[in-house]
Amino acid sequence: MTTATQPKDTAPSKARHAEIIIIGSGFAGLGAAIKLNEAGHTDFLVLERGEEVGGTWRDNSYPGAACDVPSQLYSYSFALNPDWSRSFSKQPEIQAYIRNVAAASGVLDRHLFSTELLGARWDAAAALWRITTNQGEFTASIVIPAVGALCEPALPDIKGIGDFEGEIFHSSRWNHDVDLTGKRVAVIGTGASSIQIVPAIAGKVSHLDVYQRTAPWILPRADREYSAVERFAYKHVPGFQRLARAGVYALRETQVVGLTKLPALLKPLQLSATMHLRKAIKDPVLRAKVTPNFSMGCKRMLISNNYYPALAQPNVDVVTDPISEVRAGSIVTKDGTVREIDALIVATGFHVTDSPVFEVIRGKTGTTLSETWDRIGMQGYKGTAVADFPNMFFLVGPNTGLGHSSMVYMIESQITYAVEAVATLKRHGLSSVEVRGDVSADFNRELQERLKPTVWMTGGCASWYLDKHGNNTTLWPGHTFEFRKLTKKFDLDAYHATSRRDLATSTKTALEGSAS
């Protein structure tokens, strides 16, 4: 109850304004901040819901977490890391790299941590974005969502899972306070995270059940520590690391033809994976369980040297019967088998095409990204701009994912496009730009045509690459250098543009109309 001695309600505090607001500070958001700063666009803020930079590599700290892209390619081109310890880096080393780049970049002063996006809507009359967070209100002329594709955990819809009384957590929200030693543990999922977690915990738990829906193709992991000579050369020999990076890049790009045009060219890789499986697992029953039933490349190609040996351990069972329900201390499969467990690890991936973030971003008509993409499918122009969402440049947007190489390369290409867009707005005195609907539709129509003959569409599998419309809205259907060429310059003719003068005139007219 309000009393006379209590202060009256005060008006809400004024929203904080920045010319540009970046949402997220993983590889994409941090990279955008650095490049905007370098280009002289210094009036920006980075809103990050976590307590530090890193994004995916901050959140995914589960045992065994590592990258499946070679270290020399998995860094910013403008901040090579001569201190990688091995050919495929582990999570702590990647996170340390991101921290170091952030500290040296001079942009951390414009980061707001523990700041979660709750809503963003385009105000056409003012030509700006109105943003709501758990730390207050903001406005911005330009918004750059850099939330990443692997940031929102996808939890399985299994009867009774909320009633489980033991320890339960998603792989990307690992509870490091839980000691799994001597416990009966279940892992649901056999994707990229699971094949790293299973070998890391199999030797310490009393029993491990691995629930597999689809067996993945797994290639040998050509991982090794760098020698002292190599590390010296990377640090002190001019051009040596860039040459190594170029070699890795070129080798990775050779896979594109097999993935997108001639799947038969992937047969040698499939043979290598088959031999890798046969060498590690001798039991014919177990081998049959973990043998994929689709073409190599249709789903994400995984790499591991210790996953198959872990499955062959006597305290590990691979369960292929579908889960019927989860009880207080057990999992029941549809064949009626009850398996007692103490801890449940959910490694079921992420909301890639249906991220909750899409539900809180509203364009000029008031429609959310989620509603827009639910109707037409997740799509964008050059993976970056979306019709009806002015002055928004999405990083790691639709069809920018890769099945063969480093996402950092694609991210840098998109950052170049976004920075060019900002420069174009300023140079031409524009208040807003919005990609034309017809241009975006034509771009995506051609994109889906290019995707039809790819292994992702013809390989006989169902994957998170596809949306409910049956379209591949996740991957880029070509070489990464093709995408870089597309995003090298901002093509203003593909956009509806509003000048500051036009905005002022329309605002004046609207005010005069309301006054009369």
- Cβ partners under 8 Å of residue 256, min gap 6: 404, 478, 479
For residue 477, what pLDDT is reported?
95
Mean pLDDT within 142-161: 86
Class of domain 161-216+254-346: alpha beta
* Confidence check: pLDDT of 426 > 60: yes
Mean pLDDT within 427-436: 97
For residue 510, what pLDDT is reported?
42
Class of domain 16-152+352-511: alpha beta
Return the closest-CA partner of residue 349 out of 154, 142, 216, 146. 154
Any idea which residue has 């973030």 for tokens? 357
For a pLDDT cut of 70, what percent of the chain falls above it?
Answer: 93
Phi, psi (5° rounding) for residue 491?
Answer: -95, 90
For residue 512, what pLDDT is reported?
47
Mean pLDDT within 429-437: 97
Boundaries of every domain in the chain: 16-152+352-511, 161-216+254-346
Angstrom CA distances, 478 to 255, 311, 444, 447, stand at 10, 35, 14, 10
Mean pLDDT within 333-344: 97
pLDDT tens readout for residues 211-234: 999 999 999 999 999 999 999 999
Report the 10 Å Cβ neighbour count for 279.
11
* Confidence check: pLDDT of 516 > 50: no
Any idea which residue has 């030797």 for tokens? 203
State the pLDDT confidence band at 54, using cuts at 50, 70 and 90.
Answer: very high
pTM: 0.93
Ranking 158-172, 183-197, 339-353, 493-507 by mean pLDDT, the lowest is 493-507
Report the 10 Å Cβ neighbour count for 262.
11
For residue 368, what pLDDT is reported?
96
CA gap 505, 499 in Å, rounded:
10
Concatenating the DSSP letter of every residue in 86-136 gives BSS-BHHHHHHHHHHHHHHHT-GGGEE-S--EEEEEEETTTTEEEEEETTE
- Cβ partners under 8 Å of residue 63, min gap 6: 174, 196, 197, 200, 201
Q: Which two tokens stand for residue 68?
A: 């499946």
For residue 390, what pLDDT is reported?
98
**In one letter, which amino acid is 114?**
S
CA angle 104, 105, 110 (to 5 degrees): 120
| Mean pLDDT for the chain overall | 92
Same fold, 16-152+352-511 and 161-216+254-346: yes
State the pLDDT confidence band at 129, using cuts at 50, 70 and 90.
Answer: very high
Find out whether 185 and 208 touch, Cβ atoms under 8 Å.
yes
Return the closest-CA partner of residue 144 out of 19, 17, 16. 19
For residue 372, what pLDDT is reported?
93
* Confidence check: pLDDT of 11 > 90: no
Find out whether 20 and 42 touch, Cβ atoms under 8 Å.
no
- Cβ partners under 8 Å of residue 95, min gap 6: 54, 57, 58, 61
Mean pLDDT within 113-125: 97
